[in-house]
Each structure stands twice: as structure tokens, then as C-alpha cells.
Structure 1
Amino acid sequence: MSIPSEPIGSLPRTPDVLNAMSGGDSTALAKAVDVAVRESVEALEAAGSPVADGDQAKAGAWTYPFDGADHLDPDGVAVPYADGHQRRLPSLAEGPFRYRTHAEQYLRAAQKYATVPVKQAVAAPSALSLLYPPSGIAGYPREQFVADLLDEAERDVRGCLDAGAHRVQLDLEVARLSLKLDPSGGVLEQFVELDNQLLARFSEAERARIGVHTGPGGDRHSTHSLDVDYAGLLPQLFRLTVGNFYLQLASEPDPERVLSLVAQQLRPGIRVFVGVTDPTDPRVESAEQVRDRVLLAARHIPVDQLGTCDDTGFAPYADDRSTSRETALAKIRARLRGTALAAAQLGV
């Protein structure tokens, strides 16, 4: 496919995985996850996806580093969604901060079954920085927390790169949310500076294999920050020194306006993957609808810098059962077919 197309990640977990997650039997969970990873990779390859993703073990798309930790306070930052439900992040109760799980293990689990390249989503350090409480932690200053966080995040990303990940995708959906929590943009600027500190630890060639995904969130067919104007986010976001940007676009009320803003931020050597399917919408897009979205994007983004993706993962939180695996795969097939139709029409 001359216009690359990639999944964002987080296919809905299989019923066996969800049942095992709530059952407390680690052996049963490991077996269910292994089967689900194989089925997920095989399904993506059968759909014609040139890139696979096998995340099935994560309880949350970016909570995996601390899931199961016993030094967390459950009453951290609240993330409110438009439909009224909320997710609440924990806060760190004591130091030091260490990852309990690194994403390399998810990557290697998928690579066992894949015959195409595999990408891996990881938690951005800026998102994990929300774990540190505003009141501080006695004997563990924020400066030490940030140093520990960056060391752990580097190990997370480098482990995936060294294991042969096609791309490593930093999940940064909280970037848009930060403008809702802090309209001045100060928190967003801190997020970008922190993530760039991480990226500075990698070579230019390595950063070409790293990307960042952002959007208004997606959970139970709802979003947390779709009402926040992209205009305040994109100039800061494109300061990140990654080679790839994955942007939610299909659910935007005025995608052409967003594309014009993206065009103002383009620089040589980066690729922008635009969302052409909306996991928060239960309706499955047609290939022709996707084609038209790609053609619209190509009016603003040079084709050699353009890619397509889904707006977000289909189940960033494992307990989100709002989208079936069948619907998710149907949307992925539409993305791939529509992207191919657009590429043929563009003659690339």
C-alpha cells in the first residue's frame, strides 16, 4: 500500500481474557491472553493489515506500568467523559517510581505469531507524570520522580525498538485534555517538554521509528475533550521530535479546518497519520467514506507525508465492551480498503 495505514492499538479483548482478568487466576489469564494475541494478529493479517498489533493483556492502554502496584492512592486526577462517566487516575503515595511491566513483553508476544511488522503502543511519560500528587511526597521530591520516570520510559521505548518494533507509539491522549484542565496551556507545555526530554535520549534514526498519538479520548463511545479546539494543541504537539504523528480526525466536526492547521505545522521528515475511522461511532464506515476522507487529507498533506489510522484504540480500557471485535475489524477493513482506493485515485 503506497499510503501507509496502521492500527492505533487496543482491539477489544476477547471474552475469555475479560473473564480471566476478573477471575484472579494468573495461569488462566496467561493462556487466554496467548490465544487472544494469536487470534488478533491473525485477524489483522487476514484483513490485509501491513502492520499488526497484539495488545490484549493490558488493563489500560497507558496504565500497564503501574497496574497492581500497592503504593498508589486511588483518588487521583479525575477524567470526565461527555456522557457523564469518568475514569480516575491513581496518585503515587510513595517513591521510588518503577514500572511493574514494560511494553516489550506485549510486543514479543505478538511477534511470535506475526508475519508482518508489529508496532507497539507505550505510555508517554507526560501522561504518567500525572501520578505525582500536587501536594508532593515526603522524602521523594518531584525532581527525583521525573528522573526515575524518564529512566523507566527510556527503558520501555528502547526495549521495544531493540526487539524490532515497526514503530513505537507514545500514547498522549491527555494532551488535549490538559487544555480543558488548564486552558492557559501551561500543563501542555510541560507535557511536551517532558516528552522531548525522553526523545532526546534517542538518535535521529530511532526517533524516525517513534510516533505520538493524540485525540479527545475514546471510552464507551464517549470522549473527554472533543470540545477542546485543536488549534490550541497542534502548535505545541508538533514541537515533539518524533517522526510520526497519529491524529484523531474522523470524529472532528470540521476536519478540513483541522487539516489546514496541520498543514501549517508540517516539517520535512515527518509523517502524519490521520484518523479515518471513528471507534466511538458504532456505525461501520464504508470504504468509499474512508476514501473520501483520505482524499480530503491529501489536499492539505503531501502524499509522501500522509498515512491513515483509526482515531483511537477500540478499547483503551480492557473493561470497555461498547465495541465488539467484529465491529472493530470491520472498521479496520474499511480503513485499509478505503486507503487503497484513495491511493489508486491519487496515482501513488
Structure 2
Amino acid sequence: MTAILPPIPTHVMGSHGFPGWFWTALDRIKAGDYGQTDTKETFDDATQLAIRDQERAGIDIVCDGEMRRFFFVQTFYAKMDGLEPVEPLRKTGLYAYDSAPRYRPRQRVTVPRGLGVVEEFQYLKTQTEKPVKATCPGPVTLSIHVQLRPGDAYGNDRLALCWDFVPAINAELRALVDAGADYIQIDEPSAAIVPGQIGEYVKMFNACVEGVRARIAYHVCFGNLLSRPRGKRSYRWMFPKLLDTRCHQFVFEYANREMAEIEHWKEIGVDRDVACGVVDVKSFYMESPEDVAERLELCAKFIPVERLSAVPDCGFFPVPRWVAFEKLKRLVAGTRLARRRLGLASPRP
């Protein structure tokens, strides 16, 4: 990334809150009431809105808000061959992790037409002059809606399924670089949700980014379906193995955990950049600039400020647009306050 950024740059994790009209439009699209042009215009408008919200809030590095995706990774399964839809485990009551769509692998899974991340990025580049970030799910996370059963293509071997996603992700990342991406975030919350295989997950990550000439960020959180975590909310068990990942930046969730484990960086040492979640996306509590500044000042005790970035804990998909926008404004205001308190000079325009 060649743009001159301020100290402790701000960026978003990925998804933006959907406005009410967009939910209504998605229902109409699903019902078959929109034509191809109507649908394209709807998604383009929603993406422009997400970008404008980030710009108006003052975010330093923007993304497309993942407005063309639904419930994080659910949209990607339509791009895969070899999967057969099956009934959700539960259809009544509150929507939760056991309500999500499921698939069975009737044959080895392939992604012959790509994941569509490149097309998202290409549109983003036409809509802003600010530095941008592309986001792509990792192989473990892409596997989460696939049910494994004896007799199916993978039996009970989830690792084999994950490895089959690696070539498609690597091809997508290389194509992103060819399209001009110089900052790419790999989203892999499932690495923290399914414990015990971290060494294999690190190998997969490294295979995904092989030959990808860009700044690579590794986002690991604990799940965020409708603001609910799924995994044990701790990073400690993942270290020191996680340090073997070939990434330039770790992107971690802290605000929702009251900054728990931030001191861990003093123990393991900081050999790369760290983007710290200092705004809680799972709460309607509106952090004050003072809240954000205090969290960043705490981070600065354990992470060199030249390696520190300020981000929300996760994506804003589970909250309304107005909540996302307000929290982005407070993230920016709090980060600017922290810069002043820490005596950090912003670059000249």
C-alpha cells in the first residue's frame, strides 16, 4: 500500500450494516420480482452507500462493505460445484448457528468460476479515491456450512475438504493482485472456533497466500452470527503456532472481551502489525471517543504504535446501518483522540 496513512490507521473488518430498503429489495429479488438490471442496480447502490458511509465517517482504508454477500459466506456456495443442499437442522425459533443452510458434498468440491471477490474489488476501485482493502474467506471458514457424513465424498475428513478450497482461494488472491489489490484480508474465524488443528490451519493459510504479492492480513475472531460468538473467546491456545503464518498483520477481536489478552503481545513479542478491535459490533452500546482512545492507549502499552491499527471487532452485518455508521464515526473520533494523547503526528496532506 503506497498511500501515506496516519499513525494508527482506521479500517473496517469487512461487512457494513444493511439499510432497511436493501432488506426489502433482497426479498423482492428472491421472489423473482426484479430483473437483471434491477438487481445489479440494487447491489451497486448498496455498495456505494457502504463506501460513502465509511468515507463520511473518516475511515482511512475502506472496503466495499461486502454488500453482495449474505450472512458472511452463504453466498459463496452457489459458486461451487459438487454440493447438494440439505435441510437446516432447525427451522423454528430464533435464527442461530443451527438454522443456517447446509450442504452435502456428493463429489469433490470445486469453484470453477471463482469466488467473485475480484469482481467486488474491481467495482470498489471505481467508487473511491481512498486506500482500499479486499477481503476473502479462508478455507476452514468456507467449510462451515458443509455437513460431512460417512459415504459422502470426504467422509468425516473436514481437513480434506478445506484443502480442496485452497487452490481456488490462491487463484482468487492472485487475480486480486492482478486487478490492483495491494492489501488483502483473509477471514478465518473458524480457525478459532474448531480447536485442535491450528498447525494444519496455518499450513492451509500459507498455501492460500503462496505467490500472492500483497500486504496480507489474517483475521481471526470467535464467530458473529447475529452478534453471537461460537468459539471459546481466547487466542492463547493458538500461540505460538499462529506466528508461523505468512501474514503481515493479525486482525483480532478485543472490545467485546473487555480487551482481555491484549497483554499477551508482551509475552509473545510483536513481529508484525496488529489491528485491534476497539469497537464492539455485538453491542448497541455506543462507545464514546474516550472509550476508544482508552482502549488504544492500552494497546500501545503492549504493541508498538507504528504496528497498531484501529478496527471494529468484526463485520457490521448483524447490526442496522445506523448503528454501524455511528460506531464508525466514534472509532475515528476516538482514534484521533488517541493519536493526540500519544503524541503522534499525522502526515501532511
TM-score between the two structures when normalised by the length of structure 1: 0.84
1:120 maps onto 2:169 in alignment: no
**C-alpha distance after superposition, 1:172-222 (max 9, x if no partner):** 11122112xxxxx1x2332222112222333xxx25x11111111112232
Q: Deviations over 1:252-294 (max 9, x none)?
A: 14x2x511213333343x2100000011001111111000000
Task: Report what 1:294 is aligned to.
Answer: 296
Helix, strand or coil at the partner of 1:65: helix
1:53 partner amino acid = C
Is it true that 1:18 corresponds to 2:23 in the alignment? yes
Change (3 A) 1:219 1:263: same
Name the SS for the 2:302 alignment partner.
coil
CA distance in 2, matches of 1:212, 1:62: 16
1:97 aligns with 2:100: no
Counterparts of 1:200 and 1:46 in 2: how far apart (Å)?
36
Equivalent of residue 329 in structure 2, options 319, 327, 333 = 333
Unaligned runs of 5+ in 2: 1-5, 345-349
**Aligned counterpart, 2:150:** 135
Confirm or deny that 1:198 pairs with 2:208.
yes
1:252 aligns with 2:229: no
1:56 to 67, 75, 93: 67
Distance 1:335-1:104 versus aligned 2 partners, 3 A rule: same
The equivalent residue for 2:225 is 219
The farther-off stretch of 300-309 and 165-174 is 165-174
Gaps of 5+ in 1: 180-184
The AA in structure 1 aligned to 2:18 is R
* Structure 1 residue 295: Cα displacement: 0.1
Q: How many residues align?
A: 325
Partner secondary structure for residue 245 of structure 1: strand
What residue in structure 2 maps to residue 182 of structure 1?
none
Contact 1:212 1:244 in 2 (8 A): yes
Q: Distance in 2 between matches of 1:128 and 1:178?
A: 13
Shift of 1:297: 0.4
Matched with 1:154 is 170
Contact 1:77 1:90 in 2 (8 A): no
- What is the CA–CA distance in structure 2 between the aligned matches of 1:139 and 1:240, rounded to whole Å? 26
* Shift, 1:86, TM fit: 1.7
Q: Partner letter of residue 259 of structure 1? A: I
Name the structure 1 match of 2:190.
174
- The counterpart of 2:316, out of the listed 311, 314, 317, is 314
Query: Cα gap change, 1:301/1:287 in structure 2, threshold over 3 Å: closer, same or farther?
Result: same
Cα 1:74–1:267 shift into 2, 3 Å: same
Counterpart position of 2:242:
237
Hey, what's the Cα distance between the residues in 2 that align with 1:78 and 1:262? 39
Report the CA distance between 1:148 and its aligned residue. 4.5
Distance in 1, matches of 2:61 and 2:118, equals: 17
Partner Cα separation in structure 1 for residue 211 and residue 236 of structure 2? 29
CA shift for structure 1 position 238 = 2.7
CA contact (8 A) 2:154 2:160 kept: no
Taking a change above 3 Å as real, the CA distance of residues 125 and 38 of structure 1, as seen in their structure-2 partners, is same
For 2:139 and 2:159, the matched residues in 1 are separated by 14
- Bigger mean CA deviation after superposition, 96-105 or 39-48: 96-105
Provide the rounded CA distance (Å) in 2 between the counterparts of 1:260 and 1:36. Answer: 39
Q: How far, CA to CA, are the matches of 1:228 and 1:199 in structure 2?
A: 26
With over 3 angstroms needed to count, the CA separation of the structure-2 counterparts of 1:63 and 1:262, relative to structure 1, is farther
For the aligned residue pairs, the C-alpha RMSD in angstroms reads: 2.8
Runs of 4+ in 1 over 6 A off after TM superposition: 76-79, 139-144
Change (3 A) 1:249 1:91: farther
